[in-house]
Structure 1
Amino acid sequence: MYFPCPELKPGSQINSLKSASKQAEMSKAKLQQLSPVQQRKAAAILGALVADSATSPLHWIYDQEEVKRITSTGTIAFVPEPHCPYYHIPTGTNSAYGAQVFVTLREVATNKGVFEAGRLADALYKECGPGTIYEKVRQESGQPKKGPWTNHNLKIFIANREEGRKPEADPTSQDPDGLCKAIVVIASLSGTASVLDKVGECVGTTQSNEAATNYARSGGALLDSIIQTGEIDFEAAKKAASPNVLAALEEGLAAKGKPHQVAAKEFGLACGFPASFKGMIQGIASATSFPQAVKDGILAGGDNCSRNTFIGACVAAKYGLESFPDEWLKKYDFTDQVIDWICTVVKA
C-alpha cells in the first residue's frame, strides 16, 4: 500500500511516479475533460488521497500546541519532515488510511471499474502481510518506526488469514478504516441503488462489526449525495443513519461554525467512532474551501489523517477540481498514477 511497487525501498524518490509541475497540470487537465458528475467523483477520490498525504507528517500528535509550534513557520500542509511520534514516512506519501484508499482505487481500476470485496482483501493481505515493508516495520522495536504503520484492524485481519480463522475481519474495530477505503466504492457507484450495500462489503474486508458498517453507510450516503448534486446536504446521511450514528451526526452539525480544532478536541481526537465521525461532520459542515478544510483538520491533531481523508473527499467533491492547489498536486508523489486510475474508475 505504502509503496505501489514491491521493489521500491524507504527513502526512494519514486521517480517513476513523482509529479513534476507540467505533469501535474496535464494530469489535472485529463480530469477536467470529464462530465460534471464524473469530475465530482474524481475530486472525491483525489481529495481523499491528497488530504491524507498533506496531513501525514503531523499525524497522531495529540498536543495541539505542539502542532501549532511545528506549523508556526507558515507551512501546514505537506510539512517537509515527519513529526508523527509513532512512525515516519516521507512527505508526499500516504498514511495507513490513505494507503487503503490507494489500494482500493488500484484494484477497482485494474478490474475494469468493478469492485470485488474478495479481490480487495487479497490485495490488502499481499500489500501488508508476510514479506512486506509493513511486516518489517511491525517487527521493529521502539517508536517512531521508520516506515509505514499498520492499523489495528489490518493486524487482526492479517493474523486471522495467516491462522485460517473465519471471519478474517476484525470483529471489534470501530476505527474509520472502512469508511476511508470505501470512498473509492462510493465514488465509483454513486447514483446507483447498490452503493451503500457495496460500502458495507468494502468495510467488511477488514472490519466485521455493525458500528463500523453503520458509520460508513451514513458517510457513504453523504458523499454520494454531494457527488450527485454538487451540494453539501446531510439529509441523505441522516436517512441512512442508525440511531447511534444519527446522534453523532447531529452533534457534529450542532458544532458547525465552531473552530474545528476546538470542536475536534471536544469530541475526542482519537481514531474511533463516534468521536472521529463527529469531527468529520463538523469539518465538512464548516468548510469554505478544500485547502481551508484540510489545513484546519491538520491543526486539530490526533487522528487527523482519518478525519481529513473523509473531509477531503466530501469537500473536494463540493468545491471541485479547481479547488486543488497545484502545489499540493506536485507534492503528492502519486498524482499522475492515481489520476490515470481515477479516470478508469469514473468512466466505467
Structure 2
Amino acid sequence: MAESAIQDRAAGAIMGAFIGDALGLGPHWYYDLEELRRDYGDWITTYTDPKPGRYHEGLKAGQLSQAGIILRLMLRSLVERGAYDEADFCRRMDEELFPLLDGTPANGPGGYTSQSIRNAWRKRVQQKLPWGQTGGHADTTEAIERTLAIAVRYATQPHELATAISNNARLTQIDDTVLSMTVAYGAVLSLLVQGHELDKDLSDKLMHLVKTGELPFHAVTHSDLQPPRPGDPDPPLAGRFASPDALLTPSYVATAATDPGIPIEPAWKVSLVYGMPCAIYHQLPAAYYLAARFPQDFESAVLHAVNGGGQNQARAILTGALAGAQAGLSGIPQRFLDGLEEGETLRKLAMDLAAQVGMPADRGE
C-alpha cells in the first residue's frame, strides 16, 4: 500500500463527509419530493441556501450543519492529540458545543441539534451526570457522522478502530444494534482507505478480521458462512457484538448495485427502496449502494444521495466519506472543495489526520 495513495484516500474520506454535510444543508429533510423539486429544481448540483421556515434557516450555502461541526471537533482532537483521546473529546464537547445549546431541536450551531446530542446535553448539563452515563437510544447515524474520522485514523488498525469507535459512540448511543452497525461502517471505511473495493468480496475480508479476533463480532460459522462442525466451541460473547450481520450488509448491497437484473433508476431512488427516514437501518444500505454503484465518481454518488430527499444530509455524509475514500481527495471535483466554507482549513485538518494513518495507536497518550 503506497503511503501517498492511502493518505489521498484518507483525506478524501474526510473531505467527502464535509462536502456531503454541506450539500445537504439547504434541501435537508424534504419527505415530499415534489416540494423538494419545487424549491430546488429537478436536480441539485451544488451547495444551496436553506429556505425560510425550513431546517437550518439563516445559514448559507457551503456552511456546515452541527453534524459537520462535531466532525470538525473530533478531527481537531484526533490531530492535536495524535490519537483518540476520549477525555479530550469530551472536554471539547463540554466547552465548545454544549454551552451553545438549550436542549431544543431548532437551536445551536448549524441550526439544528439532533436527538442523541440533545439527550447527552440534558444528562450532562442539566442532570450533571458524568460522561459514560450520557448515552441514549436514538437509532440514528449521528455517532457514525463523527466516528468516521476515527475510522480513518485507525484505518490499518482494526482492533483499535473498533474499540475507539465503540467507546465514542456509547457516549451518545447505547443500543447494541446501532453500535454494531456503527463499528461495521467504520470497518468498511477503513478497508476503502486501504484501497480495497466495495464489492462482493469486501464482507469476506471483514469476516476474516472477525475470525482473527481483530473485530469484536460473534460468529459461529466458518468461511463462506458454512455451518459449525460438531464439537466446535461457542466463541466467547464477552465484549462482542451479537452477530456479524452488520459486516455482511455491504457486500450484499454492493452485489445488488452492480447486478443489471436489479435496476434502481435513477439511482437517487435508492432512498425509496431502503427508506427515507433517519434510522441507521435505512441510511447505511443506501450509502453502501451509492458508493458501490459509483466507486470512482464522487460527484454522482453524493448528488444522488442528496437528491433522494428525506434524511439526505446523513445519507450524503455517509456516502461522501465512502465515495471520497474510493476516489481520493484528488478525485473530488475542485468546485466542491472551493464552495465549502473554510474549505482550506478543513482540507488541512484532513491532510493532517491522513498523515497519522498507520502510526502507533498510543501516540499522544
The letter of the residue matching 2:319 is I
User: Where does residue 194 of structure 1 map in the other structure?
Assistant: 160
Distance 1:237 1:267 in 2: 23
Match of 1:152 among 106, 109, 115: 115
Alignment of 1:214-293 (within 5 A): 214-233=180-199, 234-235=202-203, 236-237=205-206, 242=243, 245=246, 249=250, 252-253=253-254, 255-256=256-257, 257-259=263-265, 260-288=267-295, 289-293=297-301
> RMSD in angstroms over aligned alpha carbons?
2.7
- Answer yes or no: is the 8 Å Cα contact 2:77–2:84 preserved in 1: yes
**2:146 equivalent to 1:176:** no
CA displacement at 1:84 relative to structure 2? 7.5
> Match of 2:26, as an amino acid?
P
Query: Which residue of 2 is the match for residue 205 of structure 1?
Result: 171
Please tell me whether Structure 1 or Structure 2 has the larger radius of gyration of its CA atoms.
Answer: 2
Q: In the TM superposition, what whole-angstrom CA distance separates every residue of 1:279-302 from its partner, at most 9, and x where no partner exists? A: 122222222510101110111011
What does 1:111-190 align with in structure 2 at a 5 Å threshold?
A: 111=81, 113-130=82-99, 132=100, 134-135=101-102, 148-162=111-125, 163-165=127-129, 167-190=132-155
How much does 1:160 deviate?
Answer: 0.6
Deviates more, 1:55-64 or 1:246-255: 246-255
- Match for 2:148: what amino acid? I
**Contact 2:294–2:323 (CA under 8 A) maintained in structure 1:** yes
Residues 89-128 of structure 1 aligned to structure 2 (within 5 Å): 89-111=59-81, 113-128=82-97
Query: Quick check: 1:128–1:135 contact (8 Å CA) kept in 2?
Result: no
Distance 2:184 2:299 in 1: 24
Query: Deviations along 1:176-213, whole A, 9 cap, x unmatched?
Result: 01111111111111101411211112212222221221
- Once the 2 structures are TM-superposed, how far is the Cα of residue 230 of structure 1 from its aligned partner? 4.7
Distance of 1:65 and 1:73 partners within structure 2: 9
Cα distance change of structure 1 residues 255 and 56 upon mapping to structure 2, 3 Å threshold: farther
Task: Provide the rounded CA distance (Å) in 2 between the counterparts of 1:203 and 1:331.
Answer: 30
- Closer, same or farther: CA 262–342 of 1 in aligned 2, 3 Å: closer
Report the TM-score when normalising by structure 1: 0.80
Contact 1:55 1:77 in 2 (8 A): no
Residue 13 of structure 2 is aligned to residue 41 of structure 1: no
The residue identity in structure 2 corresponding to 1:135 is D
Question: 2:53, 2:319 → 1: CA distance?
Answer: 20
Give 2:363's aligned residue: none
Show structure 1 runs of 4+ deviating over 6 A: none
Give the partner amino acid of 2:120. F
Post-superposition shift, 1:323? 2.2
C-alpha separation in 1, matches of 2:186 and 2:349: 21
Question: Partners in 2 of 1:237 and 1:95 — Cα distance?
Answer: 32
The answer to whether residue 328 in structure 2 is matched with residue 320 in structure 1 is yes
Q: Give 1:43's aligned amino acid.
A: G
TM-score normalised according to structure 2 size: 0.76
Contact 1:62 1:269 in 2 (8 A): yes
SS state of the match for residue 332, structure 1?
A: coil
**Percent same amino acid at aligned positions?**
18
What is the aligned partner in structure 1 of residue 345 from structure 2?
A: 337
Aligned partners of 2:136, 2:351: CA distance in 1, in Å?
Answer: 34
Equivalent residue letter for 1:310? L
Q: What residue ranges of structure 2 are gaps of 5+ in the alignment?
A: 218-242, 258-262, 357-365
Establish whether residue 58 from structure 1 lines up as the match of residue 27 from structure 2.
yes
Instruction: In structure 2, give the amino acid aligned to 1:187.
Output: V
* Paired positions, count: 309
Cα offset for 1:105?
0.6
Evaluate the alpha carbon distance shift between residue 139 and residue 255 of structure 1 in structure 2; reply closer, same or farther with a 3 A threshold.
closer
For 1:158, the aligned partner's letter is: W
